[in-house]
Amino acid sequence: MKTLKYSRQRESIKEFLTGRQDHPTADMVYTNIRRSYPNISLGTVYRNLSLLESLGEVRKISCGDGAERFDPNTEPHYHFMCRQCGCVQDIPMLPVGELETLASERFEGSIEGHTAMFYGVCGRCRETENGRRSMGKTLDKQSAM
Amino acid sequence: MKTLKYSRQRESIKEFLTGRQDHPTADMVYTNIRRSYPNISLGTVYRNLSLLESLGEVRKISCGDGAERFDPNTEPHYHFMCRQCGCVQDIPMLPVGELETLASERFEGSIEGHTAMFYGVCGRCRETENGRRSMGKTLDKQSAM
DNA sequence: GTGTTTGCAAACAATTTGCAGAATT
DNA sequence: AATTCTGCAAATTGTTTGCAAACAC
C-alpha cells in the first residue's frame, strides 16, 4: 500500500510556497526553508515538490530559463515573464476557454487544457528602464530570496 | 567586430530543422546531422542552435519534459503536446491578439507577446488508446529519429 | 514493528565552455 | 593574416536516485 505519512519538511515546503507569489525554483525553496530546517537537503526539496505536484497541490511551470518554477495556485491561470529581470508573475485574468474550442476545430487530437505565457517588461523594470538606460546585463538571475 | 562566417555545419543544422515539423531536441538534431557529418560534436550543435535562435532563424520551445525543442517556424503560433507520447505539434490557428489586450488591462507591466501550449492526446495516440488499453509506460521518449 | 521519509552523496541529464587546431573571409 | 568556427573534453547546472538511519503511524 502507498500511504502518505506526515513530514514537517513537506509541511514547511508547502507552507513556504503558499506564502509566495513569485513562483520560486526548487533551489530558492531550498535556500529559504534552510532557515527553519538547516539540515534539510536539496534532494528532499525536490522529492517533496514533485510529490506535492503529483498530489495536485502545487503546479510546475517551465519558463525556459533553466530551472523549473513552482506555483501554489493550481487553478488554471496564465503567467507573465519579464525579459529584463526574469521574474515570473501571475496574470490576473481568467483563462480563455474558447482557445481550446478554436484549437480543437483544426486539430485531430483531443485537447484537454492549455497554458499561456506572456512576455514583456514587468512594472518594476519599466520604472528602472525609464530612469537610466542600458544598465548592463539583461535578465540576470534574481537573488535566492 | 562580430562578423558571421559561413559554416557547413550550421547550414546543415538549419536545413535539417527546416525539413522537420516535430520540433526536435538538440540531441535529435545531433543524432541526425551525424549521418552527413559524422564528426560533428554535440557542442557545435548547441552553439549553432543558440546562434540561430539569437539570429531569429529558429525558435526554442520549452515544454517541461527535460530537453528544449527547436522550431524552424519563427512566426508566432501555438503548440500542442501529447501527454501520451510526448510529441509536440503545431496548432494550425492564428494567435489570438486579444489575449494580450485582455492581459494588459489588468497588468502593470508591458506585454510584448505570448505563447500558448495545449495539452491532450494526439491523433495517433488516440487510435492506439481506443484499440488496446493501458499499454504500459506513459510518455516514453520518442526515438531519436 | 512496518513502511515512509530524510540526509547525504553519487549518479544523471542537459547544456555550456576553454582551448588548440581547422575553416572562412 | 585575422577571425570565426569546430571537435573534444571537462565543467556547470538542474534534477534524480540508492541507501542506511530517523521518523510516523
Contact between chains at A125 and B107 (C-beta distance less than 8 A): no
For B35, the grid coordinates are 549521418
For B105, the grid coordinates are 488591462
Least confident of A88-102, A129-143, B6-20, B85-99: A129-143
Contact between chains at A109 and B121 (C-beta distance less than 8 A): yes
Taking residues A70-85, what's their average pLDDT?
95
Residue A83, chain B, CB below 8 Å: the answer is yes
Q: Is the pLDDT of residue A132 over 60?
A: no
Name residues whose C-beta falls within 8 Å of residue B66's C-beta, 6 or more positions apart in sequence.
none
| Average pLDDT in chain A | 89
Q: How confident is the model at residue B2 (pLDDT cuts 50, 70, 90)?
A: confident
- Three-state secondary structure readout of B34-60: HHHCCCCCHHHHHHHHHHHHHCCCCEE
Nearest C-alpha in A relative to B82: A109
pLDDT of residue A128: 80
pLDDT of residue B130: 60
Within B 74-93, residues with CB less than 7 Å from strand D: none
User: A47 vs chain B: nearest CA distance in angstroms?
Assistant: 17
B74 CA – D18 C1', rounded, Å: 44
Q: Is the pLDDT of residue A145 over 70?
A: no
pLDDT tens, A14-30? 999 999 999 999 999 99
